[in-house]
Structure 1
């Protein structure tokens, strides 16, 4: 997915572990983090009350500052250069060891630090690791509480476990939201690509056929001008009509509403083949009993592509078009067969046949194209009707 497909502006919220983009987002993040600092009120009160020696108090302030710094480093772990998982795990272990040391040396008032260890586990570790790390943090706190104040440890146990799992859930929710946004952008990108492909196929089929017919009639008009001005004028009138119809077709293709009809394509094929000097054998009235709109449209595109190739590339003198109902191993099929006696086909299929195969596949059908003796044979099959039509 490109950067153009990613959400911008207010749609992209700053999540956990993501750097703020401006001062407002930084302030919001700091306020969110500051709410959780309430659990440090008990250690701060313990140090301010003077319950320890001067050296113990100084060591306590130093340890508390170091603890807060490591905790904030984990919260802002993706600021600048993201941390690797081993480093994150090492910092969490160090945070836990620092909490154990401070609790065992300064008393039970410091048991609240394990809430931050649990939050760090839920926020910074992968989900599976957090499921184990959060209960382990609670277990370590209980072991430390047995040596300091078991009652306070029991009171904090539920808070430590719940706050860790809650943070893990919030992080997972943020990850899921980000994935959904990326998936939505990917779907939009694929839909745009599909629409471009549809438009490219339509324009190729429309303009290839119309321009080929215009070229043929222009050559005929040029040859008729010296001796048969009336016939040349008729060819010019046909060119004008074909040009106008091509313009209408292109507009319909761009808006996505064009559904070609097989009967209209058969009439156009007769005109194009006759103008090219090709003897045409086409069905007078196509039997489309039970055919859905998508199936008929796919066959109409197939006929247009086949006739365009006959006129432009084959050098054929005769072209036979057949429309048959067949029973195949895949069920009943409506089959269009276009065969000429031209120079045949060789090499890789071009854009027209590739696009045609994609059209037929979407309609539930298939395409067969290749040399047939001295000529070329194209067979397009579609089911008579698809579900939902």
Structure 2
């Protein structure tokens, strides 16, 4: 009853629920139709009943249409219903005690928490008091009291549930908006890293082309134009990769892609077959960061290293510097020249930023023996240390 109907079925159920409550109108209607009142009494009774039902329908339909904030006129309508119930009970007949059931339900639906609970209890107490004063039949009094009390309390709980669901929905929308904003910021940062160097290089080569043309050095100008085309095409590829692969990568998917890329480049891959097995304690953000690291490392190996072998390992170890917990390190090493990516570039810089967002860090450089390049991306494992199953320091998970 607290939310607007979304389809005909819900509207039918709500109407049936409202009609079910009309059974309590049998008491005052019987009193008006049995001829026990004067004409003035009947006119007064019909007028009071119409006013009461008008207030009741207005308040309930207000809940049907929208969960508006509490307003003062809601309280006046509720007070009017209570006054009509008291006046008709004392002035006409104790059959009008049935109006208190509707008043209790309205109090539970309209009054904000926790006043709705107190309002229902207060209406029920007044109902019992007037029932005893007017010598109402015990069975009927108990039935009306239970109906009003249970209906009012149920409505109070329902309104609290509806309010909580609305707040939860608003919170989810806020979180989604923040997440979208964060994604836009991350995408802007990545595009800046991808295009900054390329556009600067295109600008420089365009200036050189203009100078060569002025000096009638057409062959050198043509070479610069060719370089500009290559740089722009590469920038387009990088942007497509950034946008197309912007979903958080899965480590297993990236491992499969790495095998394909290395095989296509005729580079032997040295990696255990179970490397893609799930890792207990590896969070989604941490897995995504390792996926980005593997993608960047394999791309560098294929494009720049001139290697014939690429070694990939996942190493589980204790956290360094005496920190509590464990870490998982992705290690990608090749036997190539290493010179082309021996210094940090935009890719490694951006990768370091991604790892930092996942509470990890990056270590990349020439191999110890001076041949090849090694990249290590480390992220924390979230599972607490189990004293009975602590890993041996330096254990390689193969």
Q: Using structure 1 for the length normalisation, give the TM-score.
A: 0.60
3-state SS of paired residue (1:177): helix
CA offset digits 1:326-351 (Å, max 9, x no partner) = x8898999xxx999xxxxxxxxxxxx
Corresponding position of 1:98: 84
1:253 has 2:242 as partner: yes
Q: 1:155 to 1:385 in 2, by over 3 A?
A: closer
CA distance in 1, matches of 2:72, 2:226: 78
Evaluate the alpha carbon distance shift between residue 128 and residue 101 of structure 1 in structure 2; reply closer, same or farther with a 3 A threshold: same
Residues 60 and 106 in structure 1, CA contact (< 8 A), matched pair in contact too = yes
Report 1:58-207 matches (<5 A).
58-77=43-62, 84-148=70-134, 149=136, 151=138, 152-207=140-195
| Whole-Å separation in 2 of the counterparts to 1:155 and 1:257 | 63
Which shifted more, 356-365 or 57-66?
356-365
Kept in 2: contact 1:224–1:232 (CA 8 A): yes
CA deviation profile, 1:286-319 (whole Å, cap 9, x unmatched): xxxxx99837969x99xxxxxxxxxxxxxxxxxx
Cα offset for 1:214? 1.4
Tell me, in whole angstroms, the C-alpha distance in 2 between the residues paired with 1:68 and 1:143.
23
1:362 to 357, 362, 366: 357
Query: Which residue of 202, 215, 234 maps to 2:203?
Result: 215
Aligned partner of residue 126 in structure 1, secondary structure:
coil
Structure 2: distance between partners of 1:129 and 1:36: 23
Q: Number of paired residues?
A: 291
Match of 1:385 in 2: 379
Distance 2:116 2:32 in 1: 32
CA distance in 2, matches of 1:122, 1:81: 14
C-alpha spacing 1:77/1:385, structure 2 compared with 1 (3 Å): closer
Whole-Å Cα distance in 2 between the matches of residues 329 and 115 of structure 1? 67
Q: Deviations over 1:141-198 (max 9, x none)?
A: 1101111215022232222211111112222232233333333333333333233223
Aligned residue among 36, 50, 56 for 2:41: 56
Q: Distance in 1 between matches of 2:287 and 2:205?
A: 34
Task: Tell me: CA distance 1:156–1:238, structure 2 relative to 1, closer, same or farther (3 Å).
Answer: same
Instruction: Answer whether contact 1:218 1:239 (CA < 8 A) is retained.
Output: yes
Q: Show CA shifts across 1:6-59 (max 9, x none).
A: xxxxxxxxx6376x8999998876665333222111110111011223322222
Partner SS, residue 385 of structure 1: strand
Q: How does 1:200-349 map to 2 (within 5 A)?
A: 200-224=188-212, 226=215, 229-257=218-246, 294=289
Question: How far does residue 71 in structure 1 lie from its aligned partner after superposition?
Answer: 1.5
Query: Gaps spanning 5+ residues in structure 1: where?
Result: 1-14, 260-290, 302-326, 340-354, 367-381
Whole-angstrom CA distance in 2 between matches of 1:121 and 1:357: 59
Structure 2: tracts of 5 or more residues without a match: 250-285, 297-319, 330-341, 345-349, 362-375, 383-398
Please say if residues 294 and 363 of structure 1, whose CA atoms lie closer than 8 Å, have aligned partners that are also in contact: yes
Equivalent residues of 2:82, 2:100 under 8 A apart: yes
RMSD: 4.6
Residue 357 of structure 1: how far off its partner (Å): 10
Residues 68/293 of structure 1: CA separation in 2 closer, same or farther (3 Å cut): closer
